[in-house]
Amino acid sequence: MTNSFNRDPINDYRANPGNPISFKDFKTDDAQGVDREHIEARTEENTLAIADLQHKLYADHNRSLLIVLQAMDAAGKDSTIRKVFARVNPQGVQVKSFKKPTPDELAHDFLWRVHMHTPRKGHIALFNRSHYEDVLVARVDNLVPESRWSKRYQVINGFEQALVNGGTEIIKIYLHLSKDRQREKLQDRLTDPEKNWKFEAGDIQTRAKWNDYMHAYEDAITNCNTEHAPWYIVPTDRKWYRVWAISEIVRTTLERMDPQFPEPKLDPISALKLLEQLQ
C-alpha cells in the first residue's frame, strides 16, 4: 500500500530487530511538510478499510491480530483506539487495559493475566498497556529485583512467538511523545474541567521518573523487537499525525494477512430454491 504524504510508517517507524534502540534516533514530530487535510482524509479511508478487513477476518475465523500500545501518560492511547477503530464491529474487537496487578494475579506468573486476553481466531485484541509493564513499571519502581525482571525479556519473546505460531499476528507500537508535549497535555488536563477526571496523582510521580522510563523502554524494545513481533516507534506530538500513522500500520498489516470470506456451507442457488419452496 502506498500513500501520497512521502511517509511510510511501516518502514520509517519500524525499529530494526537486532539493533540497540535510542529514542534520540526517532522523531516525536514528523508532520513537517505534510498537509493535514489530506492526511486526515487518508485516515478516514484507512478506518473504512480496517472495518472491511476486520469483517473478513471475523468471517474467516482462521487468524487473529494483537495490537500492543505502550506509552507514557497522556500520549493518547485511548484516543488512538477510538479513532483508528471507530468503524469496526465491536463484536470482533476487544480492548484490555492492564492496571496494577491484583493479589490473585500476583500469585501467578506475570503472563498469567495476559494470556487469557489474547485474541481468539477471527478477532482483534488491543492491549492498552500490556505485559511490557512487567519490564517497565516493575523495573523503574523496583517492584521486583533486576535478577527477576531482566529474565522476562526472553520469556516475553517466547510468549509472543507461541502466539504467532498459533496464528496471531502481532503489532507493537510505542507512542513516542516528547517531554515538553506531555507537560502541555498534563497541564490541559488540570485546566480543562472536562478533562480533570483524566488526571491522577501518579501522573506527576511517573513524569518525575521520565529518564528512568526512557531507558526502560529503550531496553524493552531492544530486547523484544523481533521479525515476528516488531516494534513501531510512532511520532506522537501531533494527534492527527499519530492516528494516521497507526491506521496505516494496522491497515497494511491486515492487508498482508489477506483475510477472505469463507466458502458458503451450502450452495447458494440450491438453498435459495429451497427457501422459495418454503414460502
List pLDDT tens digits, range 148-158: 999 999 999 99
Does residue 218 register a pLDDT over 80?
yes
3-state SS assignment for residue 241: helix
Rounded Cα distance between 107 and 129, Å, is: 20
Residue 36: give its domain's CATH number. 3.40.50.300
Whole domain around residue 217: which residue ranges?
A: 9-277
Does residue 3 register a pLDDT over 60?
no
Q: 96 falls in which pLDDT band (50, 70, 90)?
A: very high
- Does a structural domain hold residue 22? yes
Does residue 184 register a pLDDT over 80?
yes
Per-residue pLDDT at 198: 82
- Phi then psi dihedrals of residue 181, to 5 deg: -70, -35
**Beta strand residue intervals within 40-91, DSSP E:** 64-71
Instruction: Return the half-sphere exposure (C-beta side, CA atoms, 13 A cut-off) of residue 30.
Output: 22
- Number of domains making up the chain: 1
Per-residue pLDDT at 244: 98
- Does a structural domain hold residue 2? no
Closest by alpha carbon to 261, among 116, 113, 62, 85?
62
Lowest mean pLDDT among 191-200, 203-212, 226-235: 191-200
Average pLDDT, the chain: 94
Does residue 77 register a pLDDT over 70?
yes
Per-residue pLDDT at 5: 63
Segment 130-159 shows an average pLDDT of 97
Segment 109-121 shows an average pLDDT of 97
- Does a structural domain hold residue 58? yes
- Does a structural domain hold residue 105? yes
Per-residue pLDDT at 1: 42
Segment 79-104 shows an average pLDDT of 95
C-alpha cell of 270?
440450491
Distance of CA 139 to the CA centre of its chain: 22
- Phi then psi dihedrals of residue 212, to 5 deg: -65, -40
C-alpha cell of 103?
493479589
| 99 against 149, higher pLDDT | 149
Q: 111 falls in which pLDDT band (50, 70, 90)?
A: very high
Percent of the chain with pLDDT over 90: 86
The burial class, CB within 10 Å (0-12 / 13-18 / 19+), for 85 is buried
Does residue 121 register a pLDDT over 70?
yes
- Does a structural domain hold residue 1? no
- Does a structural domain hold residue 4? no
Segment 139-160 shows an average pLDDT of 97
pTM given for the model = 0.93
Q: 122 falls in which pLDDT band (50, 70, 90)?
A: very high
- Does a structural domain hold residue 92? yes
Segment 101-114 shows an average pLDDT of 95
- Does a structural domain hold residue 148? yes
Per-residue pLDDT at 2: 43
Q: How many residues can be counted in the chain? A: 279
Does residue 249 register a pLDDT over 50?
yes
Q: 115 falls in which pLDDT band (50, 70, 90)?
A: very high
